[in-house]
Amino acid sequence: MTRAKEDIGRGLAAARAGRPIPAGERVHVIGAAGAGASAAALLAARAGAAVSGCDPAAPSPYSAALEAVGITVLDRHSVEHLTTPAAEGRPIERLAVTKALTAVDPDHPELRTAHELGITVEPWQQLVADAATTSRQALVSVAGTHGKSTTAGWLVHLLVGAGRDPSAFVGALLDPALSGGAPATARWGTGPEFIVEADEYAGNFDPYQPALAVLLNAEWDHPDVFADRAAVLDAFADWLHRAQGARAAGRSVLVANVGDAGAAEVVDKLRGWSGRTVSVGLDVERADISAIIEPVAAGSSRLLVRRAGQAPTTFEIGLAGRHNAANALAVIGVAHVLGIPDEPLRASLASFGGVGRRMELVGEEGGVTVLDDYAHHPTAIARTLEAVRQRYPGRRVWAAYEPLTYHRTAAMLGEFAVALAAADAVAVADIWAGRDPDTTITSSPALAAAVTARGGPSASAPGSVEATADHLAAAVQPGDVVLVMGGGRSYVIAHRLVLLLRARSA
């Protein structure tokens, strides 16, 4: 079931260091309505490219920001996107895509036509790296199996509040106050830093050569790419080695959460690395920056932080959950490296409200609270359920989960079942196939049965996301909290459920 990342990326130009984007370069982005590709389109346009895009999923929550700045996202694929010249006659010079497309449909007509015409085909991450090079800002890359979007968004919030005006790509919608317009996954600024979410899948982070990297955690994920946990850890270590080796000047700095076993092992693999490591960790005495969580009221956290050469300091954290306390500690580590004073740091840690689809409150209707979250890995599900218990103590918690990909669900079926069994009630929607070549290896009813078999509640598998919302609307009671999770169309469950509950209450 494991696929080499060379196969995932076949047909794509090899990753390279960022280069300035030539003024007026014509770039076409396939999948431009997605979270990452839309950011690449926005950033390339701000860097001076002439950008167009297409995506059958358009319009989407992410494409609105493109339309707001005049980038049209066509809702269909067509080779005409590459063969029709612009008004000034300049042809398409670069095609940016997601590796999911090259994996599922390497003979996609637009890809095939691009190769026939000699058009460079690159992952959209290369556009982001090139935009950072164009802006001449220092690249700050946030990596890890979990928490990348929240932490990258938190760093944007911190740097904006500190007056540093960063550019950024974050894999979740930023508040308009941070993105500078419509809700978007990108920001363009003129300050010294450019923040990017660096994803390990099939080498997606390869174009990024950060001056400052953040490693939040590391464990097995993406079983279509990584054979086992060791392969994931090697990927992180190899990326950091390559990035430092490619830097023309200066040492890279790594802020590493050594409170996470996987991240600590990656640091061990960096012996002989010429960069500098700043270790952070909850309940880790020998870290450069350590912290303990102090008891507080529901829905927030308080960290007692110890930094070398400084008196212990207390910081209030506005987000619930131990995982968010660890994310906050990484933010503290970055602030230490960048020399950001405690005053704006303290304000950001206390007031940051998160990013889109990370325990996002969709609505409260008829006494039922509906939350939406991107969690799609067993660890993320378990930590998010813990955070919901912290924020809403004593209430019945539903887990409504749309599994993301058959291969991940099959490989981690037992772990998913254990994580979901911690909820009081469970509904499993149809699996979102994504890039899956085989949709017969498991099913939503199989996962629901595994939840029940592992001591959880009697889980149901209602069907589509729409059917799952309908099922929940008929089953929930006042006082319930519904946590919707997944990475495909799971957000439909949350929004449809709120509408159905509103209609029921009318």
pLDDT 10s digits, 179-197: 988 899 999 999 999 999 9
Whole-number Å distance between alpha carbons of 219 and 263 = 8
Whole-number Å distance between alpha carbons of 324 and 287 = 18
Positive/negative CA dihedral, 329, 369, 463, 98: negative
Q: Using the 8-state DSSP alphabet, how is residue 177 labeled?
A: H
Structure tokens at 274: 């010429």
Amino acid at 392: Y
235 in Cβ contact with 178 (< 8 Å): no
pTM exceeds cut of 0.85: yes
For 248-367, strand residue ranges (E) read 253-257, 276-282, 289-294, 301-307, 313-317, 360-365
Residue 137, C-beta contacts closer than 8 angstroms, at least 6 positions apart: 166, 167, 191, 192, 193, 194
Q: What per-residue confidence (pLDDT) applies to 437?
A: 81
427 in Cβ contact with 468 (< 8 Å): yes
73 in Cβ contact with 62 (< 8 Å): no
Pairing type for strands 313-317 and 301-307 reads antiparallel
Residue 160, C-beta contacts closer than 8 angstroms, at least 6 positions apart: 166, 178, 189
Q: What per-residue confidence (pLDDT) applies to 1?
A: 35
pLDDT in tens, 278-330: 999 999 989 999 999 987 776 678 999 999 889 999 999 999 999 999 999 99
Taking residue 277's Cβ as centre, other Cβ atoms within 10 Å add up to: 17
Whole-number Å distance between alpha carbons of 356 and 347 = 20
For 175-231, strand residue ranges (E) read 184-187, 193-198, 212-215
Q: What per-residue confidence (pLDDT) applies to 88?
A: 56
Structure tokens at 214: 């953040």
Which domains, and CATH codes, for the chain? 5-123 (3.40.50.720), 137-351 (3.40.1190.10), 360-505 (3.90.190.20)
Residue 297, C-beta contacts closer than 8 angstroms, at least 6 positions apart: none
Q: What per-residue confidence (pLDDT) applies to 246?
A: 66
Amino acid at 372: D
Q: What per-residue confidence (pLDDT) applies to 3?
A: 47
Q: What per-residue confidence (pLDDT) applies to 100?
A: 76
Question: Residues in the chain with pLDDT < 70?
Answer: 1-8, 86-89, 246-249, 298-299
Helix (H, G, I), strand (E, B) or coil at 7: helix
322-338 vs 148-161: helix axis angle to the nearest 10? 40
314 in Cβ contact with 302 (< 8 Å): yes
* Nearest of 89, 84, 71 to residue 113 by alpha carbon: 84
Taking residue 60's Cβ as centre, other Cβ atoms within 10 Å add up to: 16
Q: Using the 8-state DSSP alphabet, how is residue 203 labeled?
A: G
Exposure pattern of 29-53 as b/e (b: 16+ CB <10 Å)? bbbbbbbbbbbbbbbbbbbebbbbb
Residue 230, C-beta contacts closer than 8 angstroms, at least 6 positions apart: none
Q: Which conformational region is residue 126 in: left (phi greater than 0), alpha (psi within -120 to 50 degrees), or beta?
A: alpha
Helix (H, G, I), strand (E, B) or coil at 345: helix
